Amino acid sequence: MLDARARAVLSGTRFSDLRWHSETDSTNREALDLARAGAAEGVVVVADHQTAGRGRLDRTWEAPPGSSLLTSVLLRPSLPPDQVARVAMVLAISASDALEEVAGFRPQLKWPNDLVVARGGRGTRKLGGILSEAILSGARVDAVVVGLGLNLNWPHPLPEHLAEVAVSADEVAGRPVDRTAVLLCLLGRLEEHYGLLFEGGGGRAALVNYRRQCCTLGRRVRVELAGEVVVGRAVDISDEGHLVVAPEEEGASPRRITTADVVHLREDAAWTSS
Ligand code: BT5
């Protein structure tokens, strides 16, 4: 829960309407319902525990009660539908800024929506994930809900099925990480980074930091699209937030990927992920 001092910090931002629950099914579900009921931009839903936390593509997001920052933010950006990915990206940058400030380390950003921590030449482990869901009204974006699950203080050891893929911030920082401090810092940074999306030059400045921190850029990748797999080199992130991949297949032209699952591949082996 937030005390009066914390609420005062948020009162100067668009995120002053913050609803914190000890339990809900999914903060994204709740924020989407609020959006459909006409809630204003800036509503934030936080939960200590989710009974049906959602990942992308019907996957689940797991978190023991109190272990994680589980939050969803309702925004109403004036962006074309094919650019809503940029909202999740500015949330990722904001979360990374908050971790650096509060926990003393900066995670990397794996396109499109993961915060990861490198594990010494043996690939990465996932610290957080973002689920972005849009409500469209014809060809216009009516609302975007961006939900973040960030592992902060998990009981150790992690459950066996996540031990190889997940990591918790306290393990990286070597001390417990204050969840409220991360949330407040994140929302303060989001106020800035989100605002950049609507500044001159088509909001180009918003993704500069994303590119800088994105560990997918320059990597060999396997891109898993519905019914198709592309193997190539991630060469750019466009101003719209799309990943540009130069396929290895001879003669194939660069592909712009709007959204997909991406696996980082080792340089020396055809299909081994790192
Ligand atoms: C994501 O999905 O990474 C987006 C997760 C978004 C969760 C937040 S929590 C607040 C808000 N409310 C919601 O209901 N959701 C959002 P995806 O890329 O599909 O990754 C899901 C996969 O990550 C799962 O299939 C597991 O393999 C793995 N996973 C599940 N829980 C994890 C955790 N706590 N840490 C790391 N990996 C996890």
Confidence (pLDDT) at 120? 77
Nearest-CA neighbor of 193 among 203, 202, 184, 201?
Answer: 203
Confidence (pLDDT) at 167? 97
Is 112 near ligand 1, meaning CB less than 6 Å away? no
Strand 44-50 versus strand 124-137 pairing type: unpaired
How many angstroms does the Cα of residue 53 sit away from the middle of ligand 1?
7
Query: Which atom number of ligand 1 is nearest to the Cα of residue 129?
Result: 3
Confidence check: pLDDT of 5 > 90:
no
Confidence (pLDDT) at 274? 52
Confidence check: pLDDT of 273 > 80:
no
Confidence (pLDDT) at 159? 94
Confidence check: pLDDT of 272 > 70:
no
**Cβ atoms of 67 and 152 closer than 8 Å:** yes
Confidence (pLDDT) at 119? 85
Please list the alpha-helical segments (H only) found in 124-178: 160-163, 169-173
Confidence (pLDDT) at 18? 96
The per-residue pLDDT of the chain, averaged, comes to 93
Q: What are phi and psi of 29, to 5 degrees?
A: -60, -45
Q: What are phi and psi of 252, to 5 degrees?
A: -75, 140
Is 72 near ligand 1, meaning CB less than 6 Å away? yes
152: helix, strand or coil: coil
Confidence (pLDDT) at 9? 86
Residue closest by Cα to atom 18 of ligand 1: 56
**Cβ atoms of 190 and 73 closer than 8 Å:** yes
Q: Which helix (H) or strand (E) holds 111?
A: none
Question: What are the tens digits of pLDDT across the range 232-257?
Answer: 999 999 988 999 999 999 999 999 99
Residue closest by Cα to atom 34 of ligand 1: 62
Q: What percent of the chain has pLDDT over 70?
A: 97
Integer Cα distance of 74 and 48 in angstroms: 18
Model confidence at 2, in pLDDT bands (50, 70, 90)?
confident
How many angstroms does the Cα of residue 264 sit away from the middle of ligand 1?
18
Confidence (pLDDT) at 191? 97
Integer Cα distance of 139 and 130 in angstroms: 24
The whole-number average pLDDT for the span 149-163 is: 96
Region for residue 57 given its phi and psi (left: phi exceeds 0; alpha: psi -120 to 50; beta: otherwise): left
Confidence check: pLDDT of 269 > 80:
no
Confidence check: pLDDT of 270 > 60:
no
Nearest-CA neighbor of 75 among 115, 130, 128, 132?
Answer: 132
Separation of CA 82 from chain center: 17
Is 61 near ligand 1, meaning CB less than 6 Å away? yes
Give the global pTM: 0.95
Cα maximum dimension of the chain: 61
Integer Cα distance of 161 and 49 in angstroms: 20
What are the residues facing 262 on neighbouring strands? 223
The whole-number average pLDDT for the span 176-180 is: 97
Query: Which atom number of ligand 1 is nearest to the Cα of residue 47?
Result: 10
Question: What are the tens digits of pLDDT across the range 65-100?
Answer: 999 999 999 999 999 998 999 999 999 999 999 999
Q: Tokens 């100067």 map to which residue? A: 12
How many angstroms does the Cα of residue 61 sit away from the middle of ligand 1?
4
Confidence check: pLDDT of 202 > 90:
no
Model confidence at 123, in pLDDT bands (50, 70, 90)?
confident
Question: What are the tens digits of pLDDT across the range 15-39?
Answer: 999 999 999 999 999 999 999 999 9
Query: Which atom number of ligand 1 is nearest to the Cα of residue 151?
Result: 34
The whole-number average pLDDT for the span 48-60 is: 96
